Structure 1
Amino acid sequence: MVTPSTTSAPLLDVRALSLGFGASQTDLLKGLRYSVAPGETLCIVGESGCGKSVSSLAIMGLLPKGAATITEADIQFRGAPYDLSDTAALRRHRGADIAMIFQEPMTSLNPAFRVGDQIAEAVRAHRPVSEAQARDRAVEMLGRVGIPAPEARMSEYPHQLSGGMRQRVMIAMALANDPALLIADEPTTALDVTIQSQILDLIRDLQAETGMGTIMITHDLGVVAEIADKVAVMYAGTIVESGPAEAIFNDPQHPYTIGLMSSMPRLTGPRERLATVPGTVPTIETMPKGCRFSTRCPFAQPLCAEEPPSRDFGGGHHALCHFAPLNDWLEPG
């Protein structure tokens, strides 16, 4: 079993990533910073519309050309520069070194082709193997992700499989070339609780077996608590807090993180109305200056119209807030 590395260099090190869309002068993603090491799971959490999926598509080089503009990109992969403008290099990495499981397998799998052919095609795109060898690899991967009778499933179309089975096919395709990094975008969305647990267990087992780094994109804090080594909390295109999972859950320091934690239902104790974060995520046209959470923050002050500093709490725990640590600011006197 491979455990997360605490001493080796990051597998993927995003030191700065900003991008905009269209003619807007405001960056949709602004100054993203995070890293993931071999064998480590980083969970990126936040509401819908916060930019989680966009950031992963940017890393994969899958944003629509002409629509998105990279305004800042300082990224290292395996210690070497990772150039988002080098289309040929991104194509070599994509599917071989870095693989992605997309949010909805029914729209990600081609309905006109058998699932076995789709996995075999992914293999042949990056490996100098024959068609027969690629099909053997596809059968092997279907069995590896727990699909019964993989030889028979090879000839089936996506619509003939259940949602859980389609998601397993997506995982098999993503891992067919033994990638060093897996990006999983809401891999358990629309699946029932039992299948969700099976999919998470499968990803965790394969990660332990191969030592790949994993970036899990989700809004489900229950999933985060179960699998994360590190957490990055994203709001309106910025990472407002990041650090070890234990620190984020036990000592959140950004008002948005605190709001997310307060909205989690409890299985024990008295029944209480869940807390909510009022308002909605701003659009790129209504993005406030300074702290992007200021329009929804209960602690907002005029100072929040200025860019907030990154506060360092040690151990890799950071929060982007003028008033962090909040417990010091809220103390009487």
Structure 2
Amino acid sequence: MSLVNTEAQPDLLVVQDFSLRFRGAPSDQINRVSFSVGSGKTLCIVGESGCGKSVTSLAMMGLLPAGAAQINSGKMLFEGQAMNLADPKAMRKIRGSRMTMIFQEPMSSLNPVFRIGDQIVEAVKAHSDATDAQARDRAVAMLQRVGIPAPAKRMRDYPHQLSGGMRQRVMIAMALVNDPALLIADEPTTALDVTIQAQILELIRDLQAETGMGTIMITHDLGVVAEIADTVAVMYAGTVVETGPAERIFNDPQHPYTIGLMSSIPQLTGARGRLSTVPGMVPTARNMPAGCRFSTRCPFARPVCTTEPPLVEIGDGHQAACHFAPLEIKLKESA
């Protein structure tokens, strides 16, 4: 199966045909997922709640509970090396240093009984031989780098003493204090007002340009995707249904689910009307349809959709998992 990035330079992270099933489930929650991201690039993984975005990210970080999930197929390569997701010791060597993650709710991610400075210092010392003084200096410098005013003073604050936007900046500082090669950001602007959202996204962009790190942004906000994405992977019910350069995904979506997502975006101009919706609900692992997982909600579904469609190349790295892609040609032929 071909991947998103086809440049000669090796990708920073490659996820290929990755499938995962939770214990006791009758079907795979994550089904043959493939995507990649390069250094200095941003991949946005999009889809509605329950489509498997966060589970995929936790699997990449080795943060799923031991014994709760079984990897049934595929592999993940990070910096050219296969990741041993089943080995906690091996994952600890790269998690927090070479690969790091920002979670969507900073108040529940930060420890409420420790000062923020101590939590950042702990992250430094866990992955280096820095002395206490060196670790504190790095923590102060990182807080200043992410725009925290009076960083040396703020080191003594507890999380509840900071606003939501400031807590998210602290989370970014903690994630980037060890200069990782890859940042995974899981809904980093959730529950923040629009102004703070814009500031956080701009901060991540600036730090990415400064350090050259690759970024995976997990979101359901297509406005965020349009603003920051180089490539996009659209997920539905635990599988990637479309992937490719952001411009092509927005201008020429080729999977019915992607088209539904794009159609649900409110328009600022033109006649007023009801927003378009995708009818139905995302299936759970216990009622997963055979073949195409979107077939029960798809307006173009045919008998062939009871077989699983592969990701097919449409052009210029643009791929869609639909029996009728490219839609403009094959739907007309089948009419």
Q: What is the TM-score when the length of structure 2 is the normalising length?
A: 0.96
CA distance 1:5–1:209, shift in 2 (3 Å):
farther
Q: Secondary structure at the match of 1:252?
A: coil
Q: Offset of 1:288 from its aligned partner? A: 0.5
Alignment of structure 1 residues 115-126 onto 2, 5 Å? 115-126=116-127
Please say if residues 101 and 187 of structure 1, whose CA atoms lie closer than 8 Å, have aligned partners that are also in contact: yes
Tell me which residue corresponds to 1:314: 315
Moved more, 174-183 or 267-276: 267-276
Counterpart of 1:21, as a letter, is F
Task: Tell me the CA shift for residue 5 of structure 1.
Answer: 11
Q: Are 1:40 and 1:214, in contact at CA under 8 Å, matched by a contact in 2?
A: yes
Aligned length: 330
Where does residue 289 of structure 1 map in the other structure?
A: 290
Q: For residue 252 of structure 1, what is the aligned residue in structure 2?
A: 253
Q: In structure 2, what is the equivalent of residue 13 of structure 1?
A: 14
- Specify the code of the residue in structure 2 equivalent to 1:259: G
The match for 2:55 is: 54
Q: CA deviation at 1:269?
A: 2.2
What's the counterpart of residue 77 of structure 2?
76
Which whole-Å deviations, capped at 9, do the CAs of 1:10-62 have from their partners, x for residues lacking one? 00011121101121231100101000000000000000000000000000000
Matched residue SS, 2:329: helix
Matched, 1:327 2:328: yes
Counterpart for residue 225 of structure 1: 226
Residue matched to 1:185: 186
In 2, distance between residues paired with 1:115 and 1:288?
Answer: 46
Gaps of 5+ in 2: none
Contact 1:22 1:67 in 2 (8 A): yes
Give 1:261-300 correspondences, 5 Å limit.
Answer: 261-300=262-301
The verdict on how the C-alpha distance between 1:297 and 1:167 changes in structure 2, with shifts beyond 3 A counting, is same
Q: Report the counterpart of residue 198 of structure 2 in structure 1.
A: 197
How far apart, in 1, do the equivalents of 2:273 and 2:131 lie?
Answer: 61
Q: Do 1:5 and 1:40's aligned partners in 2 also have CA atoms closer than 8 Å?
A: no
Give the structure 2 partner of residue 86 of structure 1: 87
The question of whether the paired residues in 2 share the 8 Å contact of 1:228 and 1:245 is answered with: yes
Residues in 1 aligned to 2:131 and 2:311: alpha-carbon distance in whole angstroms: 52
What TM-score, normalized by structure 1, do the two folds share? 0.97
Pair 61,207 (structure 1): closer, same or farther in 2 beyond 3 Å? same
Look up the match of 1:35. Answer: 36
Q: Is residue 5–residue 39 contact of structure 1 (8 Å, CA) maintained in 2? A: no
- C-alpha separation between the residues in 1 aligned to 2:24 and 2:186? 27
**For residues 322 and 5 of structure 1, do their structure 2 counterparts lie closer, same or farther at Cα, with a shift above 3 Å needed?**
closer
Q: Deviations over 1:61-102 (max 9, x none)?
A: 000112111112311111111121121110010000000000
Counterpart Cα distance in 1 of 2:49 and 2:71:
22
Offset at 1:116? 0.4
What's the CA shift for 1:314? Answer: 1.5
SS at match of 1:324: coil
After superposing the two structures, state which structure 1 stretch, 4-13 or 285-294, moved more. 4-13
* Change beyond 3 A, Cα 1:287–1:5: closer
- Unaligned runs of at least 5 residues, structure 1: none
Residue correspondence of structure 1 range 146-225 to structure 2 within 5 A: 146-225=147-226
Name 1:242's counterpart in structure 2: 243
Q: For residue 207 of structure 1, report the CA deviation from its aligned partner.
A: 0.1
Q: Which moved more, 1:152-161 or 1:79-88?
A: 79-88
> Which amino acid letter does the alignment assign opposite residue 312 of structure 1?
E
Aligned equivalents of 1:50, 1:5: Cα separation in 2: 26
Check the 8 A contact 1:241/1:253 in 2, yes or no. yes
Deviations for 1:159-215, whole angstroms, at most 9, x for unmatched residues?
110000000000000000000000000000000000000000000000000000000
- SS for the counterpart of 1:331 is helix
SS in structure 2 opposite 1:270?
Answer: coil
SS at match of 2:31: coil
- The separation in 1 between residues aligned to 2:294 and 2:266, in whole angstroms, is 23
- Structure 1 Cα separation of the partners of residues 131 and 268 of structure 2: 53
Deviation of 1:329 (Å): 3.1
What's the CA shift for 1:309?
A: 2.6
The aligned counterpart of 1:138 is: 139
What root-mean-square deviation, in Å, do the aligned CA atoms of Structure 1 and Structure 2 show? 1.3
Deviation per residue, 1:265-308 (Å, 9 max, x gap):
11222223211000110010010010000010011111111111
Tell me, yes or no, if the aligned pair for 2:115 and 2:156 is still in contact at 8 Å: yes
Distance in 1 between residues matched to 2:156 and 2:74, nearest whole Å: 42
